[in-house]
Amino acid sequence: MPAMVDGIHVVSTETIPGFIIKDQLGVVSGSTVRAKNVVRDFTQMLKNIVGGELPQYTELLVESRNEAFTRMVADAKARGANGVVN
């Protein structure tokens, strides 16, 4: 089942069930670059030496991925798209 985000169908397949792709509007994308503060970066570096998950960076990754996804949908919407396929 496709996800519906801000009026845009988003799927990781080549088609959207129940829809016909009439036009291809090109590649849409969303990007973001983020940084944590220096003190936390240092403590995370120390944890990295010992090993294990770095939860603050995991959280940062999730936030960044969500923001990039939102920007991709906005790019699609700006081009007049009603869906994003793989």
Domain hosting residue 7, numbered range: 3-19+31-84
CB-CB contact of 10 with 16 (8 Å): no
The reply to whether 63 falls in a domain is yes
**Number of domains observed in the structure of the chain:** 1
Determine the Cα–Cα distance for residues 23 and 83; give it in Å rounded to an integer. Answer: 11
Q: What is the structure's pLDDT at 38?
A: 65
Contact present, 81 and 6 (Cβ < 8 Å):
no
Residue 74 inside a domain? The answer is yes
Q: What is the pLDDT of residues 12-60, one digit of tens each?
A: 999 998 999 999 999 999 999 887 776 667 777 776 777 777 777 888 8
**Token pair of 20 as six digits:** 């016909």
DSSP state of 13: S
Q: Is 25 among the domain residues?
A: no
Rounded distance between C-alpha atoms, residue 86 and residue 84, angstroms: 7
Single pTM value for the model: 0.78
Return the DSSP state at 12: S
List the beta bridge partners of residue 4. Answer: 9
